[in-house]
């Protein structure tokens, strides 16, 4: 027997750590700064695909400044909804960066939800107008929640227009999020109403390889910012062509997805978020630009947050120690 122990953190353990969104955004900003400086190791994510539009991805990353090394093994299954199961599930392993020995295994759904919201807000910090007060959320699921929560940390939000194809989910979302964030949340009947009146628009529906996008040209107002958490599934080519600035979170990953059939009508992003945070590329220039963040989700986002979850869980006595 060896003496190594790993800390296992279940879904409820990770949630019980209750890491605040402001800290998640701060951790991501630090990691993107490192990425912009060329200091992060993050190979493109390989995946397996057991069903159309479903994936199970392996996402390794190493962020030297955070001493964070590890991998996320995450699945996304759009049809799970019909089974009453979550869209996104998976596990994350952390390794000691000096010995390589694994020291934690945790459920990855909380981290995936929060880091993705934080990445949208971080992009918005550089690409949206700072006085943005109105948000439009299209798809009121997990991402619809965490993206709004993250935007609320950085922007003086007063009103939210929310749309979901399932009216019951939309209603629940409006009740829940208005109480949680103390903002007015108005459910709308048409996607257009959530786009044309908003300074910040997040689309977070299913990612589809052959989507039937809904957002048309001129719906997003000049000066507004969009975050396409669901790739280009919600935005028509004409709406995307109108953007003055499109960013992504990693050029190589964007090109990889393009090579396998996504983003066929999306121009190549002018910058990735690392380049913007590191000051190598500019953010918004002027109040009338339409800007769009296409963050595809990086292993680095997860590895920026996971060690902090581990440290806090350990200090709080949360989780189960298991022999390696």
Ligand X SMILES: NC(=O)c1ccc[n+]([C@@H]2O[C@H](COP(=O)([O-])OP(=O)(O)OC[C@H]3O[C@@H](n4cnc5c(N)ncnc54)[C@H](O)[C@@H]3O)[C@@H](O)[C@H]2O)c1
Contacts to ligand X by CB under 6 A:
76, 81, 87-88, 112, 116, 138-143, 163-166, 169, 204-207, 229-230, 295-297
Q: To the nearest whole angstrom, how small is the minimum distance from the Cβ of residue 116 to ligand X?
A: 4
Cβ-Cβ contacts under 8 Å for 140 (sequence gap 6 or more): 162, 163, 164, 169, 170, 172, 173, 174
Q: To the nearest whole angstrom, how small is the minimum distance from the Cβ of residue 294 to ligand X?
A: 8
Residue 263: both structure tokens together: 């983003």
CB of 219 closer than 8 Å to CB of 196: yes
Q: To the nearest whole angstrom, how small is the minimum distance from the Cβ of residue 115 to ligand X?
A: 8
249: left (phi over 0), alpha (psi -120 to 50) or beta: alpha
Choice between 132 and 203, CB closer to ligand X: 203
Choice between 6 and 108, CB closer to ligand X: 108
Choice between 103 and 301, CB closer to ligand X: 301
Q: To the nearest whole angstrom, how small is the minimum distance from the Cβ of residue 5 to ligand X?
A: 30
Q: To the nearest whole angstrom, how small is the minimum distance from the Cβ of residue 101 to ligand X?
A: 29
**Residue bearing tokens 């963040």:** 293
Choice between 103 and 173, CB closer to ligand X: 173
Q: To the nearest whole angstrom, how small is the minimum distance from the Cβ of residue 140 to ligand X?
A: 5
Distances (CA, A) of 151 to 49, 60, 92: 32, 27, 26
Choice between 103 and 262, CB closer to ligand X: 262
Choice between 230 and 275, CB closer to ligand X: 230
Choice between 36 and 206, CB closer to ligand X: 206
Q: To the nearest whole angstrom, how small is the minimum distance from the Cβ of residue 112 to ligand X?
A: 5
- The residue of the chain with the least Cβ separation from ligand X equals 141
CB of 310 closer than 8 Å to CB of 7: yes
Q: To the nearest whole angstrom, how small is the minimum distance from the Cβ of residue 190 to ligand X?
A: 11
Instruction: Point out which residues pair with 161 in neighbouring strands.
Output: 136, 186
Choice between 6 and 154, CB closer to ligand X: 154
Distances (CA, A) of 126 to 9, 79, 139, 178: 34, 35, 24, 26
């Amino acid at each position: 027997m060896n003496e190594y122990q790993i800390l296992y953190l279940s879904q409820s353990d990770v949630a019980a750590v209750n890491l605040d969104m402001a800290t998640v955004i701060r951790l991501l900003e630090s990691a993107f700064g490192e990425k912009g400086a060329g200091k992060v190791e993050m190979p493109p994510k390989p995946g397996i695909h057991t069903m159309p539009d479903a994936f199970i991805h392996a996402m390794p990353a190493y962020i030297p400044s955070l001493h964070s090394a590890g991998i996320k093994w995450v699945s996304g299954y759009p049809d799970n909804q019909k089974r009453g199961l979550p869209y996104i599930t998976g596990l994350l392993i952390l390794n000691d960066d000096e010995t390589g020995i694994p020291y934690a295994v945790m459920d990855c759904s909380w981290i995936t939800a929060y880091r993705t919201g934080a990445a949208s807000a971080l992009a918005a910090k550089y690409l949206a107008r700072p006085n943005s007060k109105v948000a439009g959320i299209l798809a009121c699921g997990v991402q619809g929640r965490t993206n709004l929560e993250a935007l609320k940390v950085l922007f003086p939000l007063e009103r939210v227009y929310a749309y979901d194809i399932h009216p019951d989910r939309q209603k629940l979302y409006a009740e829940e999020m208005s109480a949680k964030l103390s903002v007015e949340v108005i459910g709308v009947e048409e996607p257009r109403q959530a786009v044309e009146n908003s300074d910040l628009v997040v689309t977070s529906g299913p990612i589809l390889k052959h989507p039937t996008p809904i957002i048309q040209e001129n719906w997003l107002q000049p000066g507004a910012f969009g975050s396409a958490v669901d790739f280009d599934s919600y935005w028509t080519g004409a709406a995307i062509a109108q953007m003055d600035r499109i960013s992504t979170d990693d050029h190589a990953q964007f090109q990889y997805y393009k090579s396998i059939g996504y983003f066929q009508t999306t121009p190549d992003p002018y910058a990735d978020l690392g380049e913007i945070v590191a000051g190598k590329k500019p953010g918004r220039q002027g109040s009338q630009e339409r800007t769009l963040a296409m963050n595809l989700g990086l292993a680095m986002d997860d590895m920026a947050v996971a060690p902090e979850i581990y440290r806090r869980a350990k200090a709080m006595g949360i989780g189960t120690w298991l022999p390696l």
